[in-house]
A and B are shown apart, each in its own frame.
Chain A
Amino acid sequence: MLGYICKRLLLTLPTLLLVSVAVFLIIRLIPGDPALVLLGEGADAASIAGLRADLGLDRPLPVQFVSWFEHALKGDLGRSIVSGEPVGELILQHFGLTAAVVLVAVTLATLIAAAAGLIAAWRRNSVIDLAVVGAATVVLAVPSFWLGLVLLLLFGLKLGWLPFVGYVPFSESAAQAALFLVLPVVTLTITESGVLTRMMRASSIDVLQLDYVTHARAKGLSERAVLTRHVFPNAFAPTLTLVGLTLGHLLGGIAVIETVFTLPGLGRLMVDSVLARDYPVIQGCLLFTAVVYVVVNLLVDLCYPIFDPRVTAR
């Protein structure tokens, strides 16, 4: 098992290197100079050149990359050009918030999808089924940021139940922090539950038609036992794959949701850094998200056997 994990992680190293090089090159291709952005309009050429030298931006590109990479291997991702903060700390802070929102939302969405999809499949073509499928299909079609805006308008402004702006860190007040996160979590939960519900329903329908379910019923097991112990674990497996893909993708940044709700999450950090040409932060963030993506995929693959014992981790 441990060997398998190690082998998987090692295999991803070339990809991580490629990602790093690609990011490094692409962001330097974007026109714009971070030193100029820092000094503002009206700065003279000498100051700009001086600042570029301070930031190490006047060195040849390969030298810059190797230097960054060497430090990254030792765990030092450098300092933000804009704020001077260590990139590693910056990423972890912002990731903490994004992870909180994403994990809670995806967990809730999975719970909703698992229950709704299973029930809809069990009571196929009934009113319940139609309602579930209808809701899931509509939810799939609504842009997440629009939903967020509408919810914000309704609950934040018109009704005033929930705060409109910003974010209070947990270290200050957990209760208040939770309040600020309610709307983003709700928005994300609704958005993600659509596709998960449909997947769960589809695989539940498949499993319900299998022989051993009929056998279980014939053996005299209660319907509830049949559903929870026979149907659900096997029907859940494909949905779990989708959950994994979703998590990997969302943890990489929910920039749009964070913009709507003005949350200082990882997605916003990445977008803001690109717009400010903060090279170390962008490079660090992308390396980080690539690693997260790999780890989440690995975890999902490892969890698979829990639900489908026929599948063993190769």
Chain B
Amino acid sequence: MRGRLRHAGLNAILGISLVGALLLTIGVGLVWMPYDPIAIDLAHPLGSPALNHWFGTDEFGRDVLSRSMLGARISVLIALATVVVAITLGTTLGLLAGYLRGWTDRLLMMGTDTVLAFPGILLALALIAVLGSSNGSIILALSTAYTPSVVRVVRSTVLSIREREFIEASRSAGDSALGTILRHVLPNVLPPVVVLATSLFGWAMLSESALSFLGVGVPPPAPTWGNMLSASRPYMDIAGWLSIVPGLCIAGTLLGINLLGDALRDWLDPRRET
């Protein structure tokens, strides 16, 4: 028992430290950055890390540290917005499908399966190509790709608790379907949804960087860790810091999120070890 708690505690501490560092970076970045992340300096491209540029400069002479700070804000915002949209939409649809069953369920499941049959990256690529490259279209594309997973998880949770007594009791007491859903079903659906949300955040962040890597993504000159990584490719062997910095940022953030998610899972369902 003690070992397990120690484990969970360690996860939480590490997770909180990493996420805390991220939030601190974003917070500081809102008021101050060492340089203007968009200002170019064609005279000093590809400068290695030094005292005046802690993380060096990129091919246009822009300060990598400042861009990483701004990139943190943008990458996290996009991932967060994606999670919010996907969770909200997915939970609603999943509740409807699981609780109402019948044709609603069948139609929703068919729609979900259709979207799931599309390779995620491709779906996002196509949607962004139709809508044009912008923060909004990326969020929309990623949410579309991830909503089906949320729908499925919520639906299966609803199905498993649907038949339980307190639901029956609520219905026979005369509660409306909506009331039952909100008061009894939803609270029980939340724990797996919360856990899914943390995983989703990580996936969204990875997907955004993958999309930038493939050439669609947040339009320039705004930096995201993903498009910084993508732009670093031709210079990988002569300016390695350009690939290492954004890669470490992504990995560090995801590690923190995953650890927090683990700690959260342990807290919500202490019987299960992760």
Chain A interface residues (CB < 8 Å from chain B): 14-16, 18-19, 22-23, 26-27, 29-31, 124-125, 137-138, 140-146, 149-150, 153, 157-158, 198, 201-202, 205-206, 249, 252-253, 255-256, 259, 267, 270-271, 274-275, 286, 289-290, 293-294
When A26-B127, A124-B3, A206-B272 are in contact, do A19 and B118 touch as well, CB less than 8 Å?
yes
Contact A270 B119 (CB under 8 A): yes
Taking CB atoms, residues of chain B closer than 8 Å to A29 are 130
Main secondary structure of the interface of B (DSSP, over half): helix
| Alpha-carbon distance between A82 and B254 when the two chains are bound, in angstroms | 40
Q: In this assembly, does B243 line the interface, its C-beta being within 8 Å of a C-beta of chain A?
A: yes
Contact B202 A141 (CB under 8 A): yes
Contact A255 B130 (CB under 8 A): no
When A26-B126, A149-B243 are in contact, do A259 and B236 touch as well, CB less than 8 Å?
no
| Alpha-carbon distance between A314 and B3 when the two chains are bound, in angstroms | 41
When A141-B254, A206-B272, A286-B118 are in contact, do A274 and B206 touch as well, CB less than 8 Å?
no
| Alpha-carbon distance between A142 and B250 when the two chains are bound, in angstroms | 7
| Residue in B122, B237, B258 whose beta carbon sits within 8 Å of that of A253 in the complex | B122
Q: How large is the interface on B (under 10, 10 to 19, 20 to 34, 35 or more residues)?
A: 35 or more
Taking CB atoms, residues of chain B closer than 8 Å to A146 are 229, 243, 247, 250-251
Partner-binding segment picked from B42-50, B165-173, B209-217: B209-217
When A253-B122, A286-B118, A286-B122 are in contact, do A150 and B214 touch as well, CB less than 8 Å?
no
Contact B202 A140 (CB under 8 A): yes
| Residue in A22, A144, A205, A275 whose beta carbon sits within 8 Å of that of B114 in the complex | A22
Taking CB atoms, residues of chain A closer than 8 Å to B236 are 149, 153
Taking CB atoms, residues of chain A closer than 8 Å to B118 are 19, 22-23, 252, 286, 289-290
Taking CB atoms, residues of chain A closer than 8 Å to B122 are 252-253, 255, 270-271, 274, 286
Q: How far is the CB of A299 from chain B (nearest CB, A)?
A: 16
| Alpha-carbon distance between A256 and B215 when the two chains are bound, in angstroms | 11
| Alpha-carbon distance between A202 and B255 when the two chains are bound, in angstroms | 19
B 112-127 contacts with A by CB, 8 A: 113-114, 116-122, 125-127
Contact B251 A142 (CB under 8 A): yes
| Residue in B7, B213, B255 whose beta carbon sits within 8 Å of that of A145 in the complex | B213
Taking CB atoms, residues of chain A closer than 8 Å to B262 are 137
Contact A15 B117 (CB under 8 A): yes
When A27-B126, A143-B206, A145-B213 are in contact, do A289 and B247 touch as well, CB less than 8 Å?
no
Chain B interface residues (CB < 8 Å from chain A): 3-4, 6-7, 110, 113-114, 116-122, 125-127, 129-130, 202, 206, 209-210, 213-215, 229, 233, 236-237, 240, 243, 247, 250-255, 258-259, 262, 272-274
Nearest to A17 among chain B residues (CB) is B114
| Alpha-carbon distance between A124 and B3 when the two chains are bound, in angstroms | 9
Q: How far is the CB of B261 from chain A (nearest CB, A)?
A: 10
Contact B119 A14 (CB under 8 A): no
| Alpha-carbon distance between A301 and B258 when the two chains are bound, in angstroms | 29
Taking CB atoms, residues of chain B closer than 8 Å to A144 are 206
Taking CB atoms, residues of chain A closer than 8 Å to B3 are 124-125
Contact B7 A274 (CB under 8 A): no
Contact A202 B243 (CB under 8 A): no
| Residue in B120, B210, B258 whose beta carbon sits within 8 Å of that of A143 in the complex | B210
Taking CB atoms, residues of chain A closer than 8 Å to B259 are 137
Can you report 10 A-B residue pairs in the complex whose CB atoms are below 8 A from each other?
A: A15-B113, A29-B130, A145-B209, A202-B272, A249-B120, A256-B213, A274-B125, A286-B117, A289-B119, A290-B118
Contact B251 A143 (CB under 8 A): yes
Taking CB atoms, residues of chain A closer than 8 Å to B251 are 138, 141-143, 146
Contact A19 B250 (CB under 8 A): no
Contact A26 B117 (CB under 8 A): no
Taking CB atoms, residues of chain A closer than 8 Å to B243 are 146, 149-150, 153
When A149-B233, A153-B236 are in contact, do A141 and B114 touch as well, CB less than 8 Å?
no
Taking CB atoms, residues of chain A closer than 8 Å to B116 are 293
